[in-house]
Structure 1
Amino acid sequence: MKNKRTYLTNASFTALAFVILGYVAKFYPASLTAFDSAIQTAVRGTLPSAATSFWTSITVLGNTVVILAICLALAFFFYKKQWKAEAYFILASFAAMGVASTALKYVYQRPRPSIEWLIDTIGYSFPSWHTASTMMIAGAVVIIINQRMKSSLSKRLLQASLLILAVLVAVSRIYIGVHYPTDIIGGWLLAATLLLAMFPYYDQKRFEWRFQSKQK
Structure 2
Amino acid sequence: MPFPAAIAVLFRRVEAATLIVILVIGAALWAFVALAAEMLEGDLHAFDQAVLLALRTPGDTANPIGGRGLEIAMRDITALGGVTVLTLITALVLIFLILQRQRATAMFLGVAILGGQMLSHLMKSSFSRPRPDLVPHGVDVATASFPSGHSMMAAVTYLTLAVILARAEKKTSIRAFYIVTAAFIAILVGISRVYLGVHWPSDVLAGWSLGAAWALTVWIVARMMARRGQIEPDRQG
TM-score bracket for this pair, using the shorter chain length = 0.7 to 0.9
Task: Give the equivalent residue in structure 2 for 1:19.
Answer: 33
Other structure's SS at 1:178 match:
coil
Tell me the distance in 1 between the aligned counterparts of 2:179 and 2:216. 17
Other structure's SS at 1:209 match:
coil
Q: Percentage identity across aligned positions?
A: 24
Per-residue displacement from partner, 1:52-87 (whole Å, max 9, x unpaired)?
A: 110011111111122112111111211220223432
Decide which of 61, 66, 70 is 1:51's aligned counterpart. 70
CA RMSD of aligned residues (A): 2.7
Per-residue displacement from partner, 1:88-142 (whole Å, max 9, x unpaired)?
A: 3431232111111111111111101002101111111000111011111221133
Tell me the distance in 2 between the aligned counterparts of 1:96 and 1:44. 36
Where structure 1 has 5 or more consecutive residues not aligned to the other structure, the ranges are none
Question: Does structure 1 residue 209 correspond to structure 2 residue 229?
Answer: yes
Where structure 2 has 5 or more consecutive residues not aligned to the other structure, the ranges are 1-12, 58-62
CA 1:154/1:195 → structure 2, altered by over 3 Å: closer, same or farther?
closer
Task: Give the equivalent residue in structure 1 for 2:45.
Answer: 33
Higher relative CO (Cα under 8 Å, sequence separation at least 6) belongs to 1
Tell me the distance in 1 between the aligned counterparts of 2:72 and 2:117. 27
1:117/1:176 contact within 8 Å kept: yes
1:136/1:192 contact within 8 Å kept: yes
Taking structure 1 as the reference length, the TM-score comes to 0.85
Which stretch of the first structure deviates more once superposed, 86-95 or 7-16?
7-16
Question: Does structure 1 residue 96 correspond to structure 2 residue 115?
Answer: yes
> Radius of gyration: which is bigger?
2
Choose between structure 1 and 2: higher helix proportion.
Answer: 1
Decide which of 100, 106, 115 is 2:125's aligned counterpart. 106
CA 1:7/1:165 → structure 2, altered by over 3 Å: closer, same or farther?
closer
Task: Show the 5 A alignment for 1:131-150.
Answer: 131-150=151-170
Number of residues paired by the alignment? 213
Per-residue displacement from partner, 1:19-49 (whole Å, max 9, x unpaired)?
A: 23112212x22x2122112222333444220
Tell me the distance in 1 between the aligned counterparts of 2:184 and 2:24. 23
Taking structure 2 as the reference length, the TM-score comes to 0.78
Tell me the distance in 2 between the aligned counterparts of 1:44 and 1:59. 18
Tell me the distance in 2 between the aligned counterparts of 1:104 and 1:188. 13
Task: Give, as a single letter, the amino acid of the residue that structure 1 aligns with 2:37.
Answer: Y
Other structure's SS at 1:99 match:
helix
CA 1:92/1:43 → structure 2, altered by over 3 Å: closer, same or farther?
farther
CA 1:138/1:215 → structure 2, altered by over 3 Å: closer, same or farther?
closer
The runs of at least 4 consecutive aligned structure 1 residues that moved more than 6 Å come to: 212-216
* Cα drift, residue 15 of structure 1: 2.3
CA 1:9/1:168 → structure 2, altered by over 3 Å: closer, same or farther?
closer
